[in-house]
A and B are shown apart, each in its own frame.
Chain A
Amino acid sequence: MSLSPLQLCLLFSSALFCVGLIGALARSNTILVLLGVELMLNAANINFIAFWRFGPAPSPATGVMFVVFSIAVAAAEAAVGLALVIAIYRHQKNIRLQEAVRLKG
């Protein structure tokens, strides 16, 4: 079977998403978990671009705009997340996610 470029792009983004997901799930280091989430976000951005580029009715700039905002939000998220990592480290002298369970009900 032959795949259209859109599908290829989507497969690429799916793969990247899953790599991020596996990383986020598998690693205990909070920084790596955050980076995995970051990768997943990027995969989503790739989807936006792919649809904007290869999608059925490309509007002039919507996809691009989406990605721009998404990157901005991702930057904010990364900043806050890493700040949290530092805060956690200060508390428990490590950054193992599975130990950061003091908020549980």
Chain B
Amino acid sequence: MSIAFLIIALVTLGSAAVAMSLRNLIHSALLLIASWAGIAAFYLWAGAEFVAFAQLLVYVGAVSMVVLFAVLLTRQSRVDMAIAPDALRRIVAALLAGGATLGVLFGAVVSAPLPIAASATPVTVSVRQMGQELMGTHAAALLIVGALLTVALLGAIILASTGREDPPGVAPPAVAPPTRKTS
């Protein structure tokens, strides 16, 4: 097994774990960007270049920015950041649940009689091939994903922008009630 994989895995897991445990959200976000980059590296290592680039673009580029914006938009005072009284209990519960999941998954993976790779040579997929696949076999899925993204972005805008221009006491515009309700 290549050293590269091990390094990638360690970096990815390490940065993700540290990100999840830090109190500073900006740090957490930055470490997660590292983690996502690690995953992109894994994709490259595995021979899925297109996916790796997609990962970089979407996560490292876009999602991270959204996260940072969200963090900045929701800055809280120090008092608010105080650890909730039941935090410890929750953490223990989380560790137990996570540990159990980990154990079960590891056990499953190790004990599963997975077939050994049939071909040692990696199969490469050219961008042209991908394009043909996307527009051919998976055309419907592509359209649906497009629609989904559009709807999601519209929804995100509506959710995030609610009531900005509403004077207090006046009935919200037609789009507002569902927003209010869901929030």
Find out whether A and B make contact in their complex, taking CB atoms under 8 A apart as touching.
yes
Query: Judging by beta carbons under 8 Å apart, are B101 and A18 in contact?
Result: yes
Query: Judging by beta carbons under 8 Å apart, are B16 and A20 in contact?
Result: yes
Query: Judging by beta carbons under 8 Å apart, are A38 and B74 in contact?
Result: no
Q: A26-B91, A28-B90 in contact; A61/B125 too (CB < 8 A)? A: yes
User: Considering the complex, which residues of chain A in the window 19-62 have a beta carbon less than 8 Å from any beta carbon of chain B?
Assistant: 19-29, 31-32, 35-36, 38-39, 42, 45-46, 49-50, 52-58, 60-61
Q: A31-B67, A76-B148 in contact; A83/B160 too (CB < 8 A)? A: yes
Query: Judging by beta carbons under 8 Å apart, are A22 and B20 in contact?
Result: yes
Distance in angstroms between the alpha carbons of A50 and B146 in the assembled complex:
26
Query: Judging by beta carbons under 8 Å apart, are A68 and B51 in contact?
Result: yes
A-B contact count (CB 8 A): 248
Size bracket, chain A contacts: 35 or more
Distance in angstroms between the alpha carbons of A61 and B147 in the assembled complex:
23
Report how many residues on chain B are interfacial, defined by Cβ distance under 8 Å.
87
Distance in angstroms between the alpha carbons of A28 and B23 in the assembled complex:
11
Q: A15-B102, A23-B20, A27-B20 in contact; A91/B9 too (CB < 8 A)? A: no
Query: Judging by beta carbons under 8 Å apart, are B115 and A56 in contact?
Result: yes
Instruction: Pick the residue among B1, B55, B106, B133 that contacts A65 (CB under 8 A).
Output: B133
Query: Judging by beta carbons under 8 Å apart, are A83 and B157 in contact?
Result: yes
B50 surroundings in chain A (CB, below 8 A): 64, 68
Least CB separation from A2: chain B residue: B1
Distance in angstroms between the alpha carbons of A26 and B83 in the assembled complex:
12
B43 surroundings in chain A (CB, below 8 A): 49, 67
Q: A20-B16, A31-B74, A64-B125 in contact; A71/B54 too (CB < 8 A)? A: yes
